[in-house]
Homo-oligomer: A and B are copies of this chain.
């Protein structure tokens, strides 16, 4: 007898006389109808128990949360709500679930708060919402690898433990094996890192970009997809101490090529889930619609989840210079009427998500790529324009969230890069290898970074970043 997943049974073109299916009981009603789920799909398969011919003890043990193995026949459903169902001929309890205990967990079939679900993160993927989110996360992850593979990119694993803190993208975590209480000190009384595991002070990386550049400048097109870290003490719905980043980097590509890549990439991965995960998206879309009903009109979404995804997939991304955007924002209604929290008065201001969303949702009504930002609000490695006050940076802006991608053409000129580093007090000694890329056949090259969890939030409509990663790491929390 062959084993099938729930997804295989639900999608079966034919009826099957003898099947085995294993999974967890979501609900059991009228001593007859098991809603069985095994994680292969958001949908349950209905398994109909012949209760008259099933022993009492077994019937008792078929409860929410129990793991069961079912033998039976896949037949046309006798009831409505499903096309097929399983007529159970034999059922074995693999693992019990005490109803009393279950009632204290998120397995109990009712609505739970997201906070409560986070406390039981080891069980929350047995609920519809979180299984849908994590299946989508997995699909997006595959779509990322597939896109780059099909487009001639090589995947590269950049180091997590780093001896340099040059990028300055944020606070770092120290990695050490020194005695925590009595670290060895040098003659000047400072911690003697030469005795640490790596012979120097090391931290967890904030970005793999600089290393990715070294591979782009040899292999042509590369991308990273790995964890990055920020030791920032911000406990918000948008910050994690540990999150995953995607960073493509391409030799001989300028900023305009970078914009093409970002647009094509985002359209491709979102199209992938529209094609491959319709059931999960439908469930999450309905969830958001329900949620919206309890909100005041002004806070409700203007677009459904699918509409938001299609907004990205179907529209051209509008490319606008920072300078042009500032003009638009300065003259905008919310700025004049002081509706923005941060008013835009002058060229040089950093944009907030309220401004980014205004440009996308109200002004252009399509995804927007801003470029040529003021040099002094962007990182040292971005290529200086001829005007000497802007750099070839770009941010991709999406509805609902604002910036989702940040990228740039990199400064490929050794002398200008050195000057910039000197100004910012970045050590040439530490980044000797990064500088050498500009010494041995330098060339125009560009890339961008995308926080993977931001993408998953956008694609699932979840509003807290802690709900789109299996086990979130945040200040005072490293549970599981």
Contacts and interface: CB of A to CB of B under 8 A. Distances in A.
Given A442-B67, A443-B94, A220 B40 contact: yes
A173 interface: yes
Contacts of A156: 134, 138, 470
A218 B175 contact: no
A80 interface: no
Contact of A175 (B102, B175, B191): B175
A476 B198 CA distance: 4
A296 interface: no
Interface string A18-62: 000011110000000000001110000000000000000000000
A169 interface: no
Contacts of A146: 145
B39 A125 contact: no
A39 B40 CA distance: 39
Given A156-B138, A197-B241, A176 B180 contact: yes
Contact of A219 (B125, B199, B241, B242): B125
A97 interface: yes
Contacts of A326: none
A200 interface: yes
Interface string A420-434: 000000000000011
Interface stretch (A159-167, A374-382, A383-391): A159-167
B478 A198 contact: yes
A436 B478 contact: no
Contacts of A126: 218
A439 B101 contact: yes
B473 A440 contact: no
A183 B180 contact: yes
Contacts of A22: 251-252, 443
A16 interface: no
A142 B121 CA distance: 29
B39 A158 contact: no
Bin chain A's interface residue count.
Answer: 35 or more
A198 B473 contact: yes
A318 interface: no
A96 interface: yes
B480 A211 contact: yes
A191 to B, nearest CB: 5
Contacts of A105: 440
Of A24, A122, A158, most B-chain CB atoms within 10 Å: A122
A202 interface: yes
Contacts of A173: 161, 175-177, 197
Interface in A427-480: 433-434, 436-444, 469-471, 473, 475-480
Contact of A197 (B107, B141, B442, B475): B475
A228 to B, nearest CB: 10
A65 interface: yes
Interface string A247-286: 0000110000000000000000000000000000000000
A21 to B, nearest CB: 10
Nearest to A20: B252
Given A95-B441, A440-B65, A214 B155 contact: no
B437 A218 contact: no
B441 A67 contact: yes
A362 interface: no
Of A180, A440, A475, most B-chain CB atoms within 10 Å: A440
A152 interface: yes
B134 A219 contact: yes
A231 B126 CA distance: 35
26 contacts: A22-B252, A22-B443, A24-B218, A38-B251, A40-B221, A95-B440, A97-B440, A121-B433, A123-B440, A125-B215, A131-B218, A131-B219, A142-B145, A142-B155, A158-B470, A159-B470, A159-B471, A159-B480, A161-B229, A174-B175, A174-B176, A198-B475, A200-B478, A211-B480, A226-B226, A226-B227
The 8 closest A-B pairs by CB, nearest first: A95-B442, A39-B219, A67-B441, A39-B220, A199-B476, A138-B154, A125-B218, A163-B478
Given A126-B218, A173-B175, A226-B227, 5 more contacts: A7-B152, A96-B441, A158-B470, A173-B177, A174-B180
